[in-house]
Copies of this chain bind each other. A is one copy, B any other.
């Protein structure tokens, strides 16, 4: 089977259509990369591009995207609702098929070194972090672009690549490797918000729940229901079915049933493999049995 790497590149532009299209075309011009999806948000003034392909091709695609973005985006005039630190803001590399996270870290480091050499301060995060306090994106990005001039003078925030100097046009970039996320919501047949909040606390890591679950309880007012809204940040170690069955069990103590669930956005095939195995009790089922995967090689 062929290796597949994903890259979700976030850039600080969500308004100028010709710039967004130009960045998309720069990716499409790279052989072997599939631009699976892209979308810009004018309020956030930010766009995200999803690249798929071999590790080598995706690295080239990320570089082409970066060149186009750096050429067209000037952070000194950027405004938007979403936290950001650079023209090319966050570039995670995500191993999808036949790749270990180490290999994705290698690609992130290669990308980071290349970008640093172009005069952009670069920080490594998640699996590529060089120290524990740089694992978390919100911690690195704290204070945003505006805090960079001061931050870069602090030895604790010496960049992992590139100059420890403020680059007003590009800002700084965060890159690294992480596991694919699964955004999973469970709707409960009750309008009692407290039940959703209690269950969210039962399953999320921060309150003693599953290690790779982040979540909150919400009201779905138009539906007269409540929702446990989650990100599963490592579906191999904390699989979807286990979280769902725990929620079912916790809800049943209040006599509440599950009305339905939502998988939001894209879902890796690997996350569904375990769903099929668990519920069908097909202990030996493997992704390569899916006919269509032959087309990925």
A interface vs B, CB < 8 Å? Answer: 4, 6, 34, 36-37, 50, 52-53, 96-97, 180, 240-241, 244, 258-263, 265-269, 272, 275-276, 279-285, 289-297
Contact = CB atoms under 8 A, between A and B. Distances in A.
Contacts of A276: 272, 275-276
A295 B260 contact: no
Contacts of A293: 292
Contacts of A97: 292
Contacts of A289: 263, 265-267
Nearest to A244: B280
Given A272-B272, A276-B275, A263 B291 contact: no
Nearest to A285: B263
A276 to B, nearest CB: 6
Contacts of A290: 266-269, 272
A294 B37 contact: yes
Closest 7 CB pairs of A and B: A36-B294, A279-B279, A266-B291, A261-B282, A260-B281, A269-B292, A261-B281
Contacts of A261: 280-282
A240 B96 CA distance: 27
A225 to B, nearest CB: 13
Contacts of A297: 34
A273 to B, nearest CB: 9
A33 B245 CA distance: 42
Contact of A279 (B50, B267, B275): B275
A261 B291 CA distance: 19
Given A291-B267, A292-B96, A258 B275 contact: no
A261 B285 CA distance: 9
Contacts of A296: 292, 295-296
A180 to B, nearest CB: 7
Most chain B CB atoms below 10 A, which of A265, A284, A292: A292
A284 B185 CA distance: 12
Nearest to A185: B282
Contacts of A291: 6, 36, 50, 52, 96, 180, 266-269
B4 A292 contact: yes
